[in-house]
A and B are shown apart, each in its own frame.
Chain A
Amino acid sequence: MSDRILAGTRKGLFDLRRRAGGWDVEKVHFLGDPVTAVLNDAGTLHAALDLGHFGVKLWASRDDGASWEERPAPLYPPQPEGAEEPYPWKLKTVWTIEPGLVPGVLWAGTIPGGLFRSADDGRSWELVRELWDHPGRKKWMGGGAEQPGLHSVSVDPRNPARIAIGVSTGGVWHTEDGGRSWELGAKGMYAEYMPPENRYDEIAQDAHRIARCAAAPDHLWCQHHNGVFRSEDGGRTWTEVTSMQPSKFGFAVAVHPRDPKTAWFVPAVKDETRVPVDGKLVVARTRDGGATVEVMREGLPQRHAYDLVWRHALDVDATGERLAMGSTSGGVWISEDSGESWRELPARLPPVSCLRFA
């Protein structure tokens, strides 16, 4: 089991450890700076900071956080003069950093929607032009943010050239050749927020987060703006899970690393308010592929709780037993029994934007 969690927050990166006395904050990095993405890959820690005034910065540590070095952030290439563009070619946020499952390769998903690839462990980045130049990209829209955001980069562990990405709002896209060609594939998803004639438009789908089962990589789950969907064909076609409780809206999804039928969600009231249903924070779990859903609340606040768990703030470790989540109100909860019960970290953090086992 993993005894370490890295939590990126509005005011710094928190290194959480499990010791004999339980989980606690071990160290705080970048105190005061918003951390939007974090990754521990092959012994290197990566953190994406959004400094507001001074832009996005990437930092890396090769000694487990004892020291950090700034590395170049992804840069959009010069924007062509006169081309009609829905938004400027300027990096706003690094929303996710994912391992490429090939030594040295990392992927960065960003707002306003660019996918960047590094072949040297984050020392340099290149925009994936084949996706950025795809005519469909200009149809992407903002979701919760003003501009589109590429939040999920799901690499098939059997073949690292096969990747599914999720965009809010732009559907699910696939490459089979490491990013040289891309196809839209979100068949079966529907968008309640679109006019009836656009409801099944695959590019209009607001996939909030996509997660893949490591041991059964054709099985993907998606927490979508208006429901939960699952796929058994690598994310090309999707079926709605209609049994979601207590609501079908949410941001986060985690999938059991070995059992493709087990997944966890943190439901909330849909977009008008974005708070837990009845002020009670719960985790929803299915263990039968979505046929039934259990609602778990032991150890979670059940009175006037307005914690929202963002799309990158729920994670499951490699055993599938230990889960962690962090909220917009700064709460962090950890489960060591597959989500059935939870214990709160004895600290209130700044609002948590991302969290993962390390």
Chain B
Amino acid sequence: MPCISFTGHLRRYLPVATVEVAGDTVGAALSALFEREPRLRGYVLDDQGEIRRHVAIFVGGERRALAHPVKPEDHIYVLQALSGG
């Protein structure tokens, strides 16, 4: 299963750790995690269900969208974009 890690900044607010979750896209993997930790959704996604403007998601060394496919061996990094200041 893909693995998800979070910026240490987010761990100030939520008890998030690196976890394995089922999902064949970035969005599906995140959705599976939101079921376990409902508060997390509002920290990563905005009102319209899009990745927050100042959050960046990386897979395979590139910034990715929610629809990006992930393989079981992939590692998804949820980071703060430097645009947030």
Contact = CB atoms under 8 A, between A and B. Distances in A.
Interface of A: 51-55, 57, 70, 72-73, 75-79, 88-91
Question: A55, A72, A77, A91: which has the most chain B beta carbons within 10 Å?
Answer: A55
B81 A55 contact: no
Interface in B36-85: 39, 42-44, 46-49, 52, 54-55, 80-81, 84-85
A52 B12 CA distance: 14
Question: B9, B13, B47, B85: which has the most chain A beta carbons within 10 Å?
Answer: B47
B55 A54 contact: yes
Nearest to A70: B39
Contacts of B46: 55, 90-91
Nearest to B43: A54
A79 B43 CA distance: 19
A53 B80 contact: yes
Contacts of A72: 42
Given A52-B54, A53-B80, A54-B10, A79 B42 contact: no
B47 A53 contact: no
Contacts of B52: 53-55
A63 B25 CA distance: 43
Contacts of B48: 76, 78-79, 88-90
Contacts of B80: 53-54
Interface size class of B (residues with CB under 8 A): 10 to 19
A31 to B, nearest CB: 11
30 contacts: A51-B13, A51-B43, A52-B54, A52-B85, A53-B9, A53-B54, A53-B81, A53-B84, A54-B10, A54-B44, A54-B54, A54-B80, A55-B43, A55-B46, A55-B52, A57-B42, A70-B39, A72-B42, A73-B42, A75-B47, A76-B47, A76-B48, A77-B47, A78-B48, A78-B49, A79-B48, A88-B48, A89-B47, A90-B46, A90-B48
Nearest to B79: A53
A286 B46 CA distance: 45
A76 B50 CA distance: 13
Main secondary structure of the interface of A (DSSP, over half): loop
A76 B85 CA distance: 24
A90 B13 contact: no
A110 to B, nearest CB: 11
A53 B49 CA distance: 15
Contacts of A53: 9, 52, 54-55, 80-81, 84
A353 B54 CA distance: 22
Contact of B13 (A54, A79, A88, A89): A54
A70 B42 CA distance: 12
Q: 3 nearest interchain CB pairs?
A: A53-B84, A54-B43, A76-B47
Contacts of B54: 52-54
A52 B39 contact: no
Nearest to A77: B47
Given A53-B81, A54-B55, 13 more contacts: A51-B13, A52-B54, A53-B9, A53-B84, A54-B13, A54-B44, A55-B46, A55-B52, A57-B13, A76-B48, A78-B48, A79-B48, A90-B46
